[in-house]
Amino acid sequence: MRASIILAALAAAPYAWGASWITSNTVWYDTDGQVIDAHGGGIVQRGDTFYWVGQSAKNSQTPMMYSSTDLLNWKNLGAQAPGVTGYWRPKIAKPNGEFWLFGQQDRYVLSLKSSNQVGGYKQSKKVHIPPSDYSYSDTGMFFDESSNTWYLLTSADHNTVQINKINADGALGDRASALTGGAYEAPGIFKANDTYFLIVSGKTGWRANPNKVFWSTSINGPWKGGSNIAPEADKTYGSQNTHELTIKGSRQTTYIYMGDAWDSKGSTGSTYVWLPMKVDTNGKTVTLDYHKDWKIDVKTGVVTYK
Ligand X SMILES: *[C@@H]1O[C@H](CO)[C@@H](O)[C@H](O)[C@H]1NC(C)=O
The nearest distance, CB 245 to ligand X, in angstroms, is: 15
- Identify the bridge partners of residue 142 per DSSP, sorted by sequence position: 151
Q: Does 280 contact ligand X by CB under 6 A? A: yes
Distances (CA, A) of 178 to 105, 244, 282: 22, 18, 23
Q: Which of 45, 69, 281, 287 binds ligand X (CB under 6 A)?
A: 281
Long-range contacts of 215-220 (CB under 8 A, 24+ apart): 215/284, 215/286, 216/177, 218/177, 219/144, 219/147, 219/151, 219/163, 219/176, 219/177, 220/176, 220/177
C-alpha to C-alpha distance for 109 and 127, rounded to whole angstroms: 5
Q: Does 285 contact ligand X by CB under 6 A? A: no
Distances (CA, A) of 212 to 107, 128, 180: 24, 27, 14
Q: Which is nearer to ligand X, 279 or 298 (CB)?
A: 279
Q: Which is nearer to ligand X, 157 or 280 (CB)?
A: 280
The nearest distance, CB 162 to ligand X, in angstroms, is: 26
Q: Which is nearer to ligand X, 72 or 192 (CB)?
A: 192
Q: Determine how β-strand 39-46 pairs with β-strand 224-228.
A: unpaired
Q: Does 227 contact ligand X by CB under 6 A? A: no
Q: Does 96 contact ligand X by CB under 6 A? A: no
Reduced to 3 states (helix: H, G, I; strand: E, B; else coil), residue 138 is strand
The nearest distance, CB 221 to ligand X, in angstroms, is: 20
Q: Which of 72, 77, 192, 302 binds ligand X (CB under 6 A)?
A: 192
The nearest distance, CB 253 to ligand X, in angstroms, is: 7
- Note the residues at the interface with ligand X (CB under 6 A): 192-193, 279-281
